[in-house]
Amino acid sequence: NAGVMQNPRHLVRRRGQEARLRCSPMKGHSHVYWYRQLPEEGLKFMVYLQKENIIDESGMPKERFSAEFPKEGPSILRIQQVVRGDSAAYFCASSLGEGPQHFGDGTRLSIL
């Protein structure tokens, strides 16, 4: 019963380093979504991808953030030159397209 798998579960980076978060969708799902959850705030949509395509990146910060979902392998959310404000829980979800999105348990990113 493989659900959405995210790794690492916890990631610590120093300011200025790069963070790479990985997400393997549920079996059979080809639609991937990334969300960010800041302390005391709700989940915020960042980006929606299908295999090799970014469909909607309207919630992604314009600088330092990028996402990909290659033909083979997991989806990657990449944050370059991290700053303290990037500390958050990052969640990935997947779906069949229509129907509910199913979430992983997140990556908790801490910036020193």
Partner 1 sequence: EDQVTQSPEALRLQEGESSSLNCSYTVSGLRGLFWYRQDPGKGPEFLFTLYSAGEEKEKERLKATLTKKESFLHITAPKPEDSATYLCAVQVLSADGLTFGKGTHLIIQP
List residues near partner 1 by CB under 8 A: 4, 6, 31, 33, 35, 41-46, 48, 55-56, 58-59, 91, 93, 99-106
C-alpha distances in Å from residue 45, one per residue of 78, 91, 92: 15, 9, 10
* Nearer of residues 31 and 86 to partner 1, judged by Cβ: 31
> How many other C-beta atoms lie within 10 A of the C-beta of residue 54?
14
Q: How far is the CB of 73 from partner 1 (least distance, A)?
A: 21
* Nearer of residues 39 and 85 to partner 1, judged by Cβ: 39
Do 8 and 96 form a contact (C-beta atoms < 8 A)? no
* Nearer of residues 77 and 106 to partner 1, judged by Cβ: 106
Q: How far is the CB of 67 from partner 1 (least distance, A)?
A: 12
Q: What DSSP assignment string belongs to 15-67? A: TT--EEEEEEPPTT--EEEEEEE-TTS-EEEEEEEETTEEEE-TTS-SSSEEE
* Nearer of residues 10 and 78 to partner 1, judged by Cβ: 10
Q: How far is the CB of 16 from partner 1 (least distance, A)?
A: 28
- 3-state DSSP assignment of residue 7: strand
Q: How far is the CB of 56 from partner 1 (least distance, A)?
A: 6
